[in-house]
Structure 1
Amino acid sequence: METENLSLMSDSEKMFELAEQLRVLREQKEAAEQQLRELSAKIDETDYRLSELMAESETQNFTRGGVMFYLVTKTRASAVAGCKEDLFATLRREGYGELVTETVNANSLSSFVKEQIEENEDTLPGWLSGLVNVFEKTSVGVRKASK
């Protein structure tokens, strides 16, 4: 949308034009995200099949089209479901506590801070001051209209 065209429109025409642009952009984003998910799945499948074939043929690496392809083995680990706290305690006890980090979910923190502000006459409680950044972001929600 050109700036010149916007300046010639009424506010309601501008609003409807921008609403349509937002709807189209969100649809494009959703389609691109779906395409990215599908592409990632194809990459994972192709990577798996190629690595299996290379391992079976005992090929550590090869070059094709100016690109070297080589086998990489990575060890990955995660806590057993329901045993996260036991794992953390064991790591600390065994002297590996530096591996354990605490985190706070950003959405949960935002909800908590919003509640604290509401309960404190619309101001951030002093004990949170300097510890959290608070800002408001206004955006437009979009959903299908009910019939």
Structure 2
Amino acid sequence: MDTDKMFEFADRLRALRDEKAEAELRLKEIKAEMDEVDYRLSELMAEGEMQNFTRSGMMFCLTTKTHASAASGRKEELFTALRGEGFGDLVYETVNANSLSAFVKEQISENGDMLPDWLNGLVNVFEKTTVGVRKAAK
């Protein structure tokens, strides 16, 4: 076994994980700053009654978007109301991918390491081997 190569990959994997974490943090900071700058710019444009302007070859224009979500704890009630009013096509069920993976793993384990027949063809199952990284105990 080439331990030098193994340690080289281990060091590189750790460095990449650290770099990814730093990039994710930086991205979060950039998004927060973008939100703040967007808000301030939109306020200035609204105060100046300016719908749009061009700067450095880019057009900046005020837009208004409506965002809606179910009231806290009333999602099922909303779904029932939408269906009742003929808007059931807006409602769809989803299954969380991580929950489905855990469930399928459990079903395989309880079925002699085989996918139960009733799930066969309904789910795609594959395994991916990765290297976990955590701080070593002292």
Q: 2:110 maps to which residue?
A: 119
Query: What do the CA deviations read for 1:112-145 (whole angstroms, capped 9, x no partner)?
Result: 0001000100000000000000000100001112
Q: Give 1:104's match in structure 2, choosing from 90, 95, 98.
A: 95
Aligned equivalents of 1:115 and 1:68: distance in 2?
Answer: 54
Q: 1:24 maps to which residue?
A: 15
Query: What do the CA deviations read for 1:82-124 (whole angstroms, capped 9, x no partner)?
Result: 0000000000000000000100000000000001000100000
Q: CA RMSD in A?
A: 0.8
Q: Post-superposition, which runs of at least 4 consecutive aligned residues in structure 1 deviate over 4 A? A: none
Which runs of structure 2 are paired with 1:76-115 in the superposition (5 Å)? 76-115=67-106
Aligned equivalents of 1:145 and 1:46: distance in 2?
Answer: 42
TM-score, normalised by the number of residues in structure 1? 0.92
Query: What do the CA deviations read for 1:23-64 (whole angstroms, capped 9, x no partner)?
Result: 001111111111111011111100011001111111000111
Q: Give 1:133's match in structure 2, choosing from 108, 119, 124.
A: 124
What runs of 5+ residues in structure 2 fail to find an aligned partner?
none
Which runs of structure 2 are paired with 1:11-50 in the superposition (5 Å)? 11-50=2-41
Aligned equivalents of 1:146 and 1:46: distance in 2?
Answer: 44
SS at match of 2:60: strand
What runs of 5+ residues in structure 1 fail to find an aligned partner?
1-9
Aligned equivalents of 2:137 and 2:27: distance in 1?
Answer: 30
Per the TM alignment, residue 146 of structure 1 is displaced from its structure 2 partner at its CA by 2.5
The AA in structure 1 aligned to 2:3 is S
Q: Give 2:135's match in structure 1, choosing from 129, 141, 144.
A: 144
SS at match of 1:107: helix
Number of residue pairs aligned between Structure 1 and Structure 2:
138
TM-score, normalised by the number of residues in structure 2? 0.98
